[in-house]
Amino acid sequence: MSKTQYYCASSLDGYIAEADDTLDWLTGYEGSSAVEGAEPGGRGSYERFFENVGAMISGSVTYEWVLDHVDEWPYPGKPFWVLSTRELRVPEGNAVDVRIVNAKVPEIYDEMAGAAGEGNLWVIGGGNVASQFADEGLLDEVIVTVVPVVLGSGKPLFDRRVPGPPLTLTGTTAFDSGMVELRYEVTR
């Protein structure tokens, strides 16, 4: 069964970006682990995760960061919604399916879930977008790769409290880079 998943990296103190939206703390990270049996690969389980993604959604800041920092659209062949109140540029290419929408999550959820098919819906970035899904009871899983850096301030993992009971831990993975992936089910 398909899930709606918030998958992201976070600093040890709970930030997904610095206050100015930069990610140098993540993209330039080089660390290590002294934990026996830590999984090799260093950067987490992105490839495994992405194989099961059928569609994606982000806010405009995350979307524009991707456009400004990658040479080629990294999500070919998969529909990608962007929540925005303004017009945004769309990358060129046959395998690019970007949909800029000024809508609330419940208004487009069925369309996104349908487009994901048997795959999962990935809430890519932005604590605000993830919080909108949680507020509506539409978030099934939170997967956070904790990077052992402390930023002190920045953009939070969530913009507000996730309603309902505490999340249920469903798994952890330690990586040889010192990063740790935490997987939680959102209980309702």
For residue range 50-108, what is the model confidence (pLDDT) as tens digits? 999 999 999 999 999 999 998 899 999 999 999 999 999 999 888 899 999 999 999 99
**Residue 80 confidence (pLDDT):** 98
Alpha carbon distance 80, 63 (integer Å): 9
Q: Please name the residue that has the structure tokens 């993209």.
A: 27
Confidence of residue 19 (pLDDT cuts 50, 70, 90): very high
Whether CATH 3.40.430.10 fits 4-180: yes
- DSSP class of residue 175 equals B
Q: Which residues are paired to 145 by β-bridges?
A: 9, 181
Q: If residue 67 lies in a helix (H) or strand (E), which one and from where to where?
A: helix 60-69
Retrieve residue 151's tokens: 């930023």
Of 177, 98, 168, the residue nearest 145 (C-alpha): 177
- Please tell me the pTM assigned to this model: 0.94
- Distance CA(120)–CA(49), nearest Å, equals 9
Burial of 9 (0-12, 13-18, 19+ CB in 10 A): buried
